């Protein structure tokens, strides 16, 4: 199946400044791609080029088989775009706002009421249908903008910082909405600075810095590429030392073995009396069971062999899982904090 979005050697120059350099990317249907990068890295420029709002200096962008430069009108019928900063019209009701955009996307008049009801239900704004847009909270306006982005049922959604400036509850609502959209088969490109949230709903990420896409792909694969290993946590009921010894012997597939049986707070610093110290230190040993963290560098499909070795040696394994990827760690490792 051809990719839903295919970007080849995309470049954008503003006189001396090169905002995007040779960006290549492929996304499949149903992907949620997290576009990560510092301010000024080129995220918005890239999104605007996909959205036909900026002309690329070089390269091609193909969305669902359609070239964005050659057929911008067609692209606009299959792409939904939510800018990072957006406003709303005053003196207009929520349904009128959506009706205007539905009409602007050439949706027949007879179909509009049902579509408006559907997108309002999806974004949980049904109750606000007859409210004036300016009376909505920031989070509701954000959801209204998403609803507006959905009126023409786009296959691809480009969301530039959709959760910026929102309170935690509103951010969770946006996240759940994105997951629901993914389940509807939409391909979503979402840029954000809030990395922990990106981990939760993106199956692919790309890190961009100074206009260059440094890494892109599956979240776990990237984490493995960046760290050079794949972290696995093994919960052991007892015989921690023997389990550790077995793992230390598997030097061909394991890079590091760390025993992390628990945490305790470090004492207050003597030169800062009264200030609660936030540093946590590992406890070296706790006698019986605990957790061992390993850095697996072998073939992904053969991770089970590590588990098999422990079980065959009679070690009582309670759990064997990969902890959630720390996207912030990955981000900090690959970027240098530079802008284009």
Interacting residues toward other proteins by CB under 8 A: 51-55, 72-73, 76-77, 81, 83, 85-92, 96, 100-101, 103-106, 132, 145, 148, 152
Measured from the CB of residue 61, what is the shortest distance to other proteins in angstroms? Answer: 13
Compare residues 69 and 237 and give the one whose CB is closer to other proteins.
Answer: 69
Structure tokens that stand for 36 in this block: 């990560």
The CB-of-155 to other proteins minimum distance in angstroms stands at 15
**With respect to other proteins, which residue has the nearer C-beta, 102 or 226?**
102
Nearer to other proteins, 34 or 80 (CB): 80
Yes or no: say if 141 and 92 are a contact pair by the CB < 8 Å rule. Answer: no
**For residue 179, what is the enclosing H or E element?**
helix 168-183
DSSP codes of every residue in 138-203? HHHHHHHHHHHHHTT--SEEEEESTTTT--HHHHHHHHHHHHHHHHTT-EEEEE-S-HHHHHHH-S
- Nearest distance, CB of residue 114 and other proteins, angstroms: 18
- Shorter beta-carbon distance to other proteins: residue 55 or 283: 55
CA distance between the termini of the chain = 34
Integer Cα distance of 96 and 144 in angstroms: 12
If phi > 0 it is left, if psi is from -120 to 50 it is alpha, else beta; for residue 211 that is left
- Name which of 48 and 224 has its Cβ closer to other proteins: 48
**Minimum distance from residue 146 beta carbon to other proteins (Å):** 12
């Amino acid at each position: 199946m051809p990719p839903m979005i295919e970007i080849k050697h995309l470049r954008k120059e503003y006189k001396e400044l090169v905002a995007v350099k040779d960006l290549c990317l492929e996304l499949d249907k149903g992907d949620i791609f997290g576009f990560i990068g510092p301010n000024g890295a080129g995220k918005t420029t890239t999104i605007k080029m996909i959205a036909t709002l900026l002309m690329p200096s070089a390269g091609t962008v193909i969305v669902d088989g359609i070239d964005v430069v050659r057929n911008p009108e067609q692209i606009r019928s299959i792409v939904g775009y939510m800018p990072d900063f957006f406003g709303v019209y005053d003196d207009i009701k929520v349904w009128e706002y959506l009706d205007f955009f539905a009409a602007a996307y050439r949706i027949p008049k007879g179909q509009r009421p049902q579509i408006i009801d559907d997108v309002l239900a999806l974004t949980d704004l049904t109750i606000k249908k007859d409210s004036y847009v300016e009376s909505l909270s920031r989070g509701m306006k954000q959801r209204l903008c998403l609803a507006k982005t959905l009126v023409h049922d786009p296959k691809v959604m480009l969301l530039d910082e959709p959760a910026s400036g929102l309170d935690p509850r509103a951010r969770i609502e946006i996240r759940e909405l994105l997951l629901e959209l993914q389940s509807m088969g939409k391909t979503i490109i979402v840029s954000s600075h809030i990395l922990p949230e990106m981990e939760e709903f993106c199956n692919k990420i790309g890190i961009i810095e100074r206009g260059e896409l440094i890494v892109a792909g599956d979240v776990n694969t990237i984490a493995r590429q960046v760290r050079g290993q794949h972290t696995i946590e093994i919960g052991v009921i007892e015989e921690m030392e023997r389990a550790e010894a077995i793992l230390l012997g598997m030097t061909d597939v394991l890079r590091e073995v760390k025993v992390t049986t628990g945490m305790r707070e470090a004492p207050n610093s003597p030169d800062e009396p009264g200030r609660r110290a936030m540093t946590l230190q590992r406890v070296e040993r706790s006698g019986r069971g605990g957790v061992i963290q390993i850095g697996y560098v072998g073939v992904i499909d053969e991770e089970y062999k590590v588990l098999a070795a422990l079980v065959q040696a009679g070690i009582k394994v309670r759990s064997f899982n990969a902890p959630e990827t720390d996207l912030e760690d990955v981000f900090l490792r690959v970027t240098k904090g530079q802008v284009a």
